[in-house]
C-alpha cells in the first residue's frame, strides 16, 4: 500500500490517502512543535509521496498551523486543488467572548471565515466539529453546517470527540431533513485506547462514517521510545506519563517482538494495527519531524498476520460499558445454536431441546 492508494471517506465520493497528515505540531507557539521550515518540509514530503489529506484546527498553535498551511498551499491554486484540507471549529480564541467558541451558528460562521482567511482558500474540504457543545441544540449546529455546505464554503462535514448517541441523533436529523450528512468521525483510537469499540466504532459503521483515528501512538507511548526500566522523560507531559503503565509496557514488549521479526519499528507495527481495524479509513499521523513522518509512513508496507493481531488484541482488550459484554452472550439466546452471517452460536442451555418441551 502507498499514500496514493486512496480510499473514499465514509458514504461519500471524497478520496483521501490511507494516512492523514495531522498538523497540530505545526508552529512552535505552544512552546513545542515544528518550526515553519520543518513544517513545510513535512508537508512537501507527504504530498510528494502522493498524500492528499491534511488535518488541522482553528486553535492549533493559536491559529499558526492553519496559516502555515495557507502560506504553503492555499496561495498556490494547483497545490490547493489537489489537497483535501480538513479543519475544525469549536475552540474559543477570544478571551472574554462567550460566543467566540462552541457550535452555535454565530460561532461556526465566524470560525469558518477566520479559518478560510488563515488557510488562504475559498473553501474547506472537510469541516469538523472539534467536540460536542453541550450548550447548543444539535439542530442549530447541523443547520448552520448545511448552510455552509450550500454556500460552497464547506464541501463535507464531520464530528470529532462526540458521544455516539449524539452523532446518531445528528445524522438522523440530517437524513430526515435533507441536510448535509456527516461523512466522517474523528476519535482517539490505539492499542491503548480501545473503549471506542463499545459504541463509537459500531455507530460509525452503521451510519457509514469514515473513521480517522487521532493519537494512534498514544502521544508517543507506543512509539518504542519508552520501555520498561528505561528512565525516559516524555516530552508531551502527563498525557504520556499517565499511559506508561505495566499494561502499556506489556503491549510495547509485544510490539517490539513483532517489529524485530519483521525488521521494522515499534511505531510502524502499532500504526499497522490501527490501520487494519474494521471501519478505520485514515489514521492521523502527528509527525513533528521529517524523520518521524518517514518512519510512520513505513507502516503502509506492513501486513500483520492473524497471530500477531490476536496477540496484540489479547494484551489490549478493553473493558467496555454495559451492554457490550452482555450482548456478547445474546447470540446463543437468539440464534438457537445456528451460524448466521458467519457468527456461530452455542445452544442456549435454557432453550427447549425438543418440540415436546415447548408450550
Chain segment 198-227, per-residue pLDDT in tens: 999 999 999 999 999 999 999 999 999 988
At residue 10 the predicted structure's pLDDT band, cuts being 50, 70 and 90, is very high
Residue 233: pLDDT over 80: no
Number of H-type helices and E-type strands within the chain: 14, 10
Longest Cα pair distance anywhere in the chain, in angstroms?
79
Rounded CA separation 16/223 (Å): 25
Q: What is the mean pLDDT of residues 12-34?
A: 95
**Is the predicted pLDDT of residue 234 greater than 70, yes or no?**
no
**Is residue 236's pLDDT more than 60?**
no
**Across all residues in the chain, what is the average pLDDT?**
94
Whole-angstrom Cα distance, residue 167 to residue 231?
41
- CA 131 – CA 233 distance, rounded (Å): 30
Contact 282, 17 (CB under 8 A): yes
CA 123 – CA 113 distance, rounded (Å): 10
- Residue 63, pLDDT above cutoff 70: yes
> In the chain, what percentage of residues exceed pLDDT 70?
98
Task: Write out the three cell numbers for 315.
Answer: 494484551
Place of cell 452523532: 167
Structural domains of the chain in order of their starting residue, each with its CATH number: 7-245+265-304 (3.20.20.100)
Q: Do residues 153 and 183 make contact, with C-beta atoms less than 8 angstroms apart? A: no
Q: Considering the candidates 6, 60, 127, 189, report the single residue annotated as catalytic.
A: 60
Q: pLDDT over 90 for what percent of the chain?
A: 81
**pLDDT > 70? residue 235:** no
DSSP state of 214: B
Residue 299's SS3 state is helix
* DSSP alpha helix (H) spans, the chain: 36-48, 64-69, 77-82, 105-119, 138-151, 164-177, 200-206, 238-241, 246-262, 266-275, 290-297, 306-316, 324-328, 330-334
* Bridging pattern class, strands 154-160 and 124-129: parallel
Per DSSP bridges, beta strands 15-16 and 20-22 are unpaired
Residue 280 has pLDDT above 90, yes or no: yes
Mean pLDDT of 271-282: 97
- pLDDT attached to residue 231: 58
Active site residue 359: no
Arithmetic mean of pLDDT, 89-110: 97
Amino acid at each position: 500500500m502507498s499514500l496514493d492508494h486512496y480510499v473514499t471517506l465514509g458514504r461519500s465520493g471524497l478520496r483521501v490517502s490511507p494516512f492523514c497528515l495531522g498538523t497540530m505540531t505545526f508552529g512552535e507557539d505552544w512552546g513545542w512543535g515544528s518550526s515553519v521550515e520543518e513544517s513545510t518540509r513535512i508537508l512537501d514530503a507527504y504530498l510528494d509521496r502522493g498524500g492528499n489529506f491534511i488535518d488541522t484546527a482553528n486553535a492549533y498553535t493559536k491559529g499558526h498551523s492553519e496559516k502555515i498551511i495557507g502560506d504553503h498551499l492555499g496561495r498556490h491554486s494547483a497545490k490547493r486543488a489537489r489537497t483535501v484540507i480538513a479543519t475544525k471549529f469549536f475552540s474559543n480564541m477570544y478571551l472574554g467572548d462567550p460566543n467566540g467558541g462552541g457550535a452555535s451558528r454565530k460561532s461556526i460562521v465566524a470560525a469558518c471565515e477566520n479559518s478560510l482567511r488563515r488557510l488562504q482558500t475559498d473553501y474547506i474540504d472537510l469541516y469538523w466539529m472539534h467536540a460536542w457543545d453541550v450548550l447548543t441544540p444539535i439542530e442549530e449546529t447541523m443547520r448552520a453546517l448545511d448552510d455552509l455546505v450550500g454556500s460552497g464554503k464547506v464541501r463535507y462535514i464531520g464530528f470529532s470527540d462526540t458521544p455516539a448517541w449524539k452523532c446518531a441523533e445528528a445524522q438522523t436529523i440530517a437524513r430526515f431533513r435533507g441536510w448535509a450528512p456527516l461523512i466522517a468521525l474523528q476519535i482517539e483510537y490505539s492499542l491503548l485506547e480501545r473503549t471506542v469499540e463499545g459504541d463509537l466504532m459500531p455507530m460509525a459503521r452503521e451510519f457509514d462514517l469514515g473513521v480517522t483515528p487521532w493519537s494512534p501512538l498514544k502521544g508517543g507511548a507506543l512509539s518504542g521510545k519508552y520501555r520498561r526500566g528505561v528512565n525516559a522523560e516524555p516530552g508531551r507531559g502527563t498525557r504520556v506519563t499517565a499511559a506508561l503503565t505495566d499494561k502499556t509496557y506489556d503491549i510495547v514488549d509485544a510490539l517490539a517482538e513483532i517489529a524485530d521479526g519483521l525488521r521494522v519499528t515499534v511505531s510502524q507495527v502499532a500504526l499497522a494495527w490501527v490501520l487494519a481495524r474494521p471501519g478505520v479509513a485514515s489514521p492521523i499521523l502527528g509527525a513533528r519531524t521529517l524523520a518521524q513522518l518517514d518512519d510512520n509512513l513505513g507502516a503502509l508496507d506492513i501486513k500483520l498476520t492473524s497471530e500477531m493481531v490476536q496477540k496484540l488484541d489479547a494484551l489490549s482488550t478493553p473493558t467496555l460499558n454495559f451492554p457490550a459484554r452482555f450482548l456478547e452472550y445474546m447470540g446463543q439466546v437468539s440464534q438457537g445454536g445456528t451460524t448466521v452471517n458467519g457468527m456461530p452460536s452455542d445452544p442456549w442451555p435454557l432453550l427447549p431441546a425438543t418440540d415436546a418441551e415447548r408450550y
